[in-house]
Amino acid sequence: MRIGILAVQGNFREHAAMLRELGAEPVEVRKPEQLDGLDGLIVPGGESTTFMRLMRLYGLDEAISGFEGPIMGTCAGMIVLDKEHLGLIDLEVDRNAYGRQVASFEADLKLSGHGEPLRGVFIRAPRVRSTGADVEVLAEHDGEPVLVRDGRILVASFHPELTEDTRVHELFLNQVREAMSVRA
């Protein structure tokens, strides 16, 4: 299973390490043609304005919009995929809504279908303003969605790659496996 990680900026190395640990092959993506043959894609955390600028510069915005496999976005990746940017998920978010860098925090999250809490690392995290009717909330913090899925798109307002808990990445890889079995 080959999973691309947008590697123009942000936490792509941490995602790659977690994917390797789970037996997937990470592929750093910096050009549109590098999306060819991938089974899934991760848009990592970083700085969303920088992401969008670099993606437009390299033609990755259109290439990612046309990518048909499952996509996971974390923190800035959530913003990049939302309705106001690439429009791949029926979600509106507010950037840096939990505060500046100094207001970063960690919290235990109840992950749907799991008894043990999931540790969320929130760094200048986006806050979900609204979701479409088909968006499934998988985890909340103080009653607000922080991990959601809309069809093939999974997004988190936190950084699952900065903990040792692999459950968010496992959830994404399971989506990729399901999509691969449908294509086969």
Active site residues: 75, 159, 161
91 neighbors 155 (Cβ within 8 angstroms): yes
Closest CA to 41 of 68, 78, 4, 8: 4
Distance CA(96)–CA(75), nearest Å, equals 9
Closest CA to 158 of 119, 110, 130, 131: 119
Q: Residue 139: which residues within 8 A CB-CB, separation 6 or more?
A: 109, 110, 111, 112, 118, 120, 145, 146, 147, 156
Q: Where are the beta strands (DSSP E) in 7-43?
A: 25-29, 40-43
